[in-house]
């Protein structure tokens, strides 16, 4: 059986490589999924053959602890930047003088994502660390493993141990899709794919990382036994081991070749599926690189040439303000239409009051608009020389443009908010849209136009009204037929089964997203306890800090919300955790604080977390002298291990742990706990 599992793993690895690295799949997605499922089933049936680098491990798990900090063996330096070909020429001259012999350069695209350092030992990915401060970074191995174009196991003739560095990227198409989803959920948009990629890599939940479809290109090998004497050939070797190396990598013999590369890619890069912000020029020979060495911050053998962001100058006509579901007020500049990177720009985001202030904006100003890596153009400066007649200074509004309420600004937040949650039209409508959305109550038939219509007709004033909509009232409205009206009613009925944690999420409490809603539901068990939770009780919950606690307190301090919740309860919505989830399986772990670390064969980390709670224990994130023991899996984080050893905290492996709970280990297929 072991051989069969291994063969299937190899086969799936090859298909992953064909698909994600070579972009030429040889089987259909359907066939791939079938094979992956087959492997998942075999691995579940034969946990003794578990492998942390199996293709099944790329789907991620719900890990919920901070990242370990790891020191870089070789510091992660940055590159000197240049913005003109003249400066590239200066670099060339410096190198020429210093080496005093012939040399070659390699030109590469400068990918605009987040850098990563991977360590491979015996052909297996053992660690992935972010740049951090250059000296040490976060160990994000579990998240990186979900990126399909990164090989977990290498092929061919690779060195025993080496590091490879590259850029993790979110392709434009994924970025656009993600932002569309976030817009619908009224979550803050990512400004560019770089922020989206680095934000994703720092997520605590690798299953979400897996769903974000990140990609990666590699451009730098480090180690004692690299196969070749020059950079270009090493990259080609890395490609043969399974890494994605950009085909836009060229050996250049002279400055003219470099200039041709720059000019070609300044135009062509716009057709690439990922963001680039320049090119990197490196000395090819490793020996010459060594001779040139490093300054304190960057290598002397490489330089980055940054592409100019496209700019235009246009007139600022006015500033308008948009109010979102959460009450956040976004200022938007209305401009004379201008052509920029092939599109007509009429509006630009001004982000917040501080940005308006720092630009010293006046109506009628000629402003510079840029569309760098950003999807939404931004105003970068005012052309003060063109300011002949000075218009009114742009002052952030004091009152909500929709309902007139005085705006507030919470400490530490850049945004202004309209606090009139229950009477400001876009907030009321936005809250309803959120309430019915798929991840919340999942009520069909109530799109934003229908909600608007019902609101205008006074049939919906708050989310509880949704359950009192009557078919005749709905039908009377011009755009709704009988069938749609019945569909809405049926869907409302069905939504009464939606579990408590999703009901909390659906309420649209500011800063309470899906994960926080789950945490609140599991910590407080029912709406009454949550309603009366004190600040201190709230902040003891994992991942809930001051900002969220304050927001929850504010929500429950409002009488109107309490009345509305009472109505929702009377309609039969789930206002407490289901019996199953409340079920206590025993008190074998009563009073114990347990840290989970590493990867496991028999249950996912989330399953272990639930098991701990169901047996009366507490799952905590970091090791301290109060930790009772560590539930330790494979590849436990080195920092945690060190800390455990220095404090004398016991390590318990998963079999020992399951034995403590009354030996459920043979029952893996029928997991005895209950999960959300
Ligand atoms: S080489 C010692 N090559 O740009 C220098 N970097 O400012 C190692 N980057 O931190 C970096 N594409 O995140 C190199 N082809 C490329 C690159 C590249 C993007 C990023 C990388 C680095 C930053 C340098």
- The two structure tokens encoding residue 172: 């434009």
Is the distance from CB of 170 to CB of 113 less than 8 angstroms? yes
Q: Beta-carbon neighbour count of residue 475 at 10 Å?
A: 15
* Nearest in space to 353 (alpha carbons), one of 412, 409, 391, 392: 409
CA atoms of 17 and 148, how far apart (whole Å): 8
pLDDT at 301: 97
Q: Please state, in angstroms and as integers, the Cα–Cα distance from residue 625 to each residue in 60, 640, 648, following that order.
A: 30, 12, 8
- pLDDT cut 70: percent of the chain above it: 94
191-207: burial string, b at 16+ Cβ within 10 Å, e else:
bbbbbbbbebbebbbbe
Q: Beta-carbon neighbour count of residue 614 at 10 Å?
A: 21
pLDDT at 670: 34
Does the C-beta of 115 come closer than 6 Å to ligand 1? yes
pLDDT at 274: 94
pLDDT at 567: 97
Is the distance from CB of 447 to CB of 487 less than 8 angstroms? no
pLDDT at 494: 95
Output the CA 551–ligand 1 centroid distance in Å.
41
CA atoms of 147 and 291, how far apart (whole Å): 36
Q: Which residues contact 510 (CB under 8 A, 6 or more apart)?
A: 326, 327, 551, 554, 555
- Third-level CATH fold of 81-306: D-amino Acid Aminotransferase; Chain A, domain 1 (3.30.470)
Does the C-beta of 5 come closer than 6 Å to ligand 1? no
pLDDT at 668: 35
Instruction: Let me know if 417 is exposed, middle or buried by CB neighbors in 10 A (0-12, 13-18, 19+).
Output: buried
pLDDT at 214: 95
pLDDT at 411 over 90: no
Helix (H), strand (E) at residue 265: helix 255-268
Of the ranges 182-191, 292-301, 479-488, the best mean pLDDT one = 292-301
Vertex 623: Cα angle to 618 and 628 (nearest 5): 50
Instruction: Name the one residue in this structure whose structure tokens are 């969220």.
Output: 548
- CATH number, span 585-670: 3.40.50.10190
Name the average pLDDT for the chain: 88
Residue whose CA lies nearest to ligand 1 atom number 9 = 110
- The two structure tokens encoding residue 546: 């001051």
pLDDT at 451 over 70: yes
Is the distance from CB of 31 to CB of 69 less than 8 angstroms? no
pLDDT at 220: 97
pLDDT at 63: 38
The domain segmentation of the chain, as residue ranges, is 2-57, 81-306, 312-386, 425-579, 585-670
Same topology for domains 81-306 and 585-670, yes or no?
A: no
Q: What is the CA radius of gyration of the chain?
A: 28
pLDDT at 78: 87
Q: What is the mean pLDDT of residues 420-435?
A: 92
pLDDT at 513: 85
Helices (H) and strands (E) in the chain, counts: 25, 21
- Phi, psi angles (nearest 5°) of residue 303: -155, 150
pLDDT at 61: 47
pLDDT at 585: 65
Q: What is the mean pLDDT of residues 390-413?
A: 92
pLDDT at 511: 83
Q: What is the mean pLDDT of residues 603-619?
A: 80
Banded pLDDT at 372 (limits 50, 70, 90): low
pTM of the predicted protein model: 0.62
pLDDT at 526: 95
Task: Write the pLDDT tens digit of every residue in 272-311.
Answer: 999 999 999 999 999 999 999 998 788 999 999 998 877 8
pLDDT at 24: 72
- Third-level CATH fold of 2-57: Helix Hairpins (1.10.287)
CA atoms of 672 and 665, how far apart (whole Å): 10
Q: Beta-carbon neighbour count of residue 458 at 10 Å?
A: 8
3-state DSSP helix/strand/coil % of the chain, to nearest 5: 40, 20, 40
Does the C-beta of 220 come closer than 6 Å to ligand 1? yes
Ligand 1 pocket test, candidate residues 106, 110, 289, 302, most atoms within 8 A of CB: 110
Banded pLDDT at 531 (limits 50, 70, 90): very high
* Nearest in space to 247 (alpha carbons), one of 116, 155, 118, 111: 111
Helix (H), strand (E) at residue 328: strand 328-340
Q: Which of 30-34, 324-328, 354-358, 403-407 has the lowest mean pLDDT?
A: 30-34
Output the CA 133–ligand 1 centroid distance in Å.
15
pLDDT at 373: 61
Output the CA 221–ligand 1 centroid distance in Å.
12
pLDDT at 124: 95
CA atoms of 485 and 470, how far apart (whole Å): 8
Does the C-beta of 541 come closer than 6 Å to ligand 1? no
Does the C-beta of 219 come closer than 6 Å to ligand 1? yes
pLDDT at 672: 37
Cα 415 off chain centre by: 21
pLDDT at 149 over 60: yes
Does the C-beta of 522 come closer than 6 Å to ligand 1? no
- CATH number, span 312-386: 2.40.50.140
CA atoms of 350 and 379, how far apart (whole Å): 7
Q: Which of 170-179, 236-245, 504-513, 636-645 has the lowest mean pLDDT?
A: 636-645
Ligand 1 pocket test, candidate residues 106, 165, 286, 303, most atoms within 8 A of CB: 165
Does the C-beta of 664 come closer than 6 Å to ligand 1? no
pLDDT at 245: 97
**DSSP for 393-428, written as a single string:** BP---SB-TTT-PBPB--TT-SSEE---TTT-HHHH
Catalytic residue of the set 110, 145, 519, 609? 110
pLDDT at 65: 44
- CATH number, span 425-579: 1.10.150.20
pLDDT at 666 over 70: no
Is the distance from CB of 207 to CB of 59 less than 8 angstroms? yes
Task: Write the pLDDT tens digit of every residue in 193-249.
Answer: 998 999 999 887 787 888 889 999 999 999 999 999 999 999 999 999 999 999 999
pLDDT at 598: 84
Banded pLDDT at 583 (limits 50, 70, 90): low
Q: What is the mean pLDDT of residues 581-610?
A: 79
Task: Write the pLDDT tens digit of every residue in 87-121.
Answer: 999 999 999 999 999 999 999 999 999 999 999 99
Strand partners, 114: 168
Specify the 3-state DSSP secondary structure of 620. strand
Task: Write the pLDDT tens digit of every residue in 619-646.
Answer: 888 888 889 999 998 778 778 888 888 8
* Nearest in space to 208 (alpha carbons), one of 178, 180, 186, 244: 178
Residue whose CA lies nearest to ligand 1 atom number 12 = 110
Does the C-beta of 302 come closer than 6 Å to ligand 1? yes
Output the CA 182–ligand 1 centroid distance in Å.
29
pLDDT at 62: 41
Q: Which atom of ligand 1 is nearest to the CA of 114?
A: 13
658: left (phi over 0), alpha (psi -120 to 50) or beta: alpha
Strand partners, 69: 138
pLDDT at 59: 63
pLDDT at 665 over 70: no
Instruction: Let me know if 287 is exposed, middle or buried by CB neighbors in 10 A (0-12, 13-18, 19+).
Output: exposed
Output the CA 79–ligand 1 centroid distance in Å.
7
* Nearest in space to 164 (alpha carbons), one of 94, 92, 231, 112: 231
HEC states along 82-137? ECCHHHHHHHHHHHHHHHCCCCCEEEEEEECCEEEEEEEECCEEEEEEECCCCCEE
Is the distance from CB of 630 to CB of 640 less than 8 angstroms? yes
pLDDT at 630: 93
Q: Which atom of ligand 1 is nearest to the CA of 113?
A: 13
pLDDT at 239: 97
Long-range contacts formed by 605-611: CB under 8 A, 24+ apart: 605/61, 605/62, 605/63, 605/64, 606/61, 606/62, 606/64, 606/675, 607/671, 607/673, 607/675, 608/654, 608/657, 609/64, 610/673, 610/674, 610/675, 611/585, 611/661, 611/673
Does the C-beta of 108 come closer than 6 Å to ligand 1? yes
Does the C-beta of 218 come closer than 6 Å to ligand 1? no
110 classed as catalytic = yes
Ligand 1 pocket test, candidate residues 73, 77, 91, 220, most atoms within 8 A of CB: 220
pLDDT at 33 over 80: no
pLDDT at 30 over 80: no
pLDDT at 669: 32
Does the C-beta of 169 come closer than 6 Å to ligand 1? no
pLDDT at 671: 35
- The two structure tokens encoding residue 414: 């850049």
Count CA atoms within 13 Å of residue 168 on its CB side: 30
Residue whose CA lies nearest to ligand 1 atom number 23 = 78
Output the CA 97–ligand 1 centroid distance in Å.
24
pLDDT at 365: 95
CA atoms of 409 and 415, how far apart (whole Å): 6
Q: What is the mean pLDDT of residues 595-606?
A: 80
CA atoms of 58 and 221, how far apart (whole Å): 24
Q: Which of 225-229, 230-234, 378-382, 579-583 has the lowest mean pLDDT?
A: 579-583
């Amino acid at each position: 059986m072991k051989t069969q599992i291994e063969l299937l793993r190899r086969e799936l690895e090859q298909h992953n490589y064909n698909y994600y690295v070579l972009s030429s799949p040889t089987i259909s997605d359907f066939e791939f999924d079938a094979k992956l499922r087959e492997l998942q089933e075999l691995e579940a049936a034969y946990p003794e053959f578990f492998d942390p680098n199996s293709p099944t491990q790329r789907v991620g798990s719900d890990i919920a602890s901070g990242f370990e900090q790891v020191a870089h063996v070789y510091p992660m330096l940055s590159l000197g930047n240049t913005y003109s070909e003249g400066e590239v020429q200066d670099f060339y001259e410096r190198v020429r003088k210093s080496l005093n012999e012939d040399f070659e350069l390699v030109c590469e695209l400068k990918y605009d994502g987040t850098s990563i350092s991977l360590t491979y030992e015996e052909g297996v990915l053992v660690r992935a660390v972010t740049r951090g401060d250059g000296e040490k970074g976060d160990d994000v191995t579990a998240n990186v493993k979900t990126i399909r174009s990164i090989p977990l196991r290498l092929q061919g003739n690779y060195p025993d141990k080496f590091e490879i560095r590259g850029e993790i990227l979110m392709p434009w198409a994924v970025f656009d899709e993600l932002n569309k989803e976030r817009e619908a959920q009224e979550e803050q948009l990512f400004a560019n794919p770089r922020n989206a990629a680095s934000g994703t890599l720092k997520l605590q939940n690798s299953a979400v990382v897996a769903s974000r479809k990140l990609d990666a290109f590699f451009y730098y090998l480090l180690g004692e036994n690299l196969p070749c004497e020059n950079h270009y050939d090493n990259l080609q070797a890395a490609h043969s081991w399974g890494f994605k190396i950009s085909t836009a990598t060229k050996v250049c013999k002279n400055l003219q070749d470099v200039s041709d590369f720059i000019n070609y890619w300044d135009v062509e890069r716009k057709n690439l599926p990922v963001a680039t912000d320049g090119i990197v020029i490196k000395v090819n020979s490793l020996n010459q690189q060594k001779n040139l060495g490093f300054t304190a911050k960057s290598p002397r053998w490489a330089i980055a040439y940054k592409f100019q962001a496209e700019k235009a100058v246009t007139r600022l006509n006015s500033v308008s303000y948009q109010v979102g579901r959460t009450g956040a007020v976004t200022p938007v500049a209305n401009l004379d239409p201008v052509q920029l990177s092939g599109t007509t720009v009429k509006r630009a985001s001004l982000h917040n009051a501080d940005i308006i202030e720092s630009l010293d904006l006046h109506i009628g100003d000629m402003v510079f608009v840029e569309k760098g890596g950003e999807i939404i153009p931004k105003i970068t400066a005012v052309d003060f020389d063109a300011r002949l007649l000075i218009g009114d200074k742009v002052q952030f509004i004091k009152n909500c443009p929709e309902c007139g309420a005085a705006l507030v600004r919470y400490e530490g937040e850049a945004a202004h908010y309209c606090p009139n949650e229950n009477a400001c039209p876009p907030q009321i409508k936005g809250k309803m849209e959120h309430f019915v959305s798929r991840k919340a109550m999942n009520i069909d038939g109530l799109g934003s136009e229908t909600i608007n219509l019902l609101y205008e007709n006074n049939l919906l004033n708050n989310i509880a009204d949704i359950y009192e909509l009557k078919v005749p009232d709905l039908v009377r409205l011009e755009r709704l037929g009988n069938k749609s009206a019945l569909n809405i009613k049926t869907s409302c009925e069905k939504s009464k089964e939606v579990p408590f944690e999703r009901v909390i999420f659906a309420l649209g409490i500011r800063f309470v997203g899906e994960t926080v809603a789950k945490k609140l539901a599991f910590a407080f068990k029912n709406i009454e306890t949550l309603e009366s939770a004190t600040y201190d009780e709230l902040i003891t919950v994992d991942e809930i800090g001051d900002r969220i606690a304050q927001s929850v307190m504010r929500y429950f301090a409002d009488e109107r919300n309490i009345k509305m919740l009472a109505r929702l309860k009377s309609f039969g919505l789930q206002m407490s955790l289901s019996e199953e989830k409340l079920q206590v399986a025993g008190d074998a772990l009563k009073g114990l604080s347990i840290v989970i670390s590493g990867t496991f064969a028999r249950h996912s980390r989330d399953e272990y977390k639930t098991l701990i709670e169901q047996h009366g224990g507490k799952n905590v994130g970091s090791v301290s002298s109060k930790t009772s023991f560590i539930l330790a899996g494979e590849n436990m984080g080195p920092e945690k291990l060190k800390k455990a050893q220095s404090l004398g905290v016991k390590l318990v492996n998963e079999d020992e742990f399951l034995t403590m709970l009354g030996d459920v280990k043979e029952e893996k297929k029928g997991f005895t706990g209950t999960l959300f």
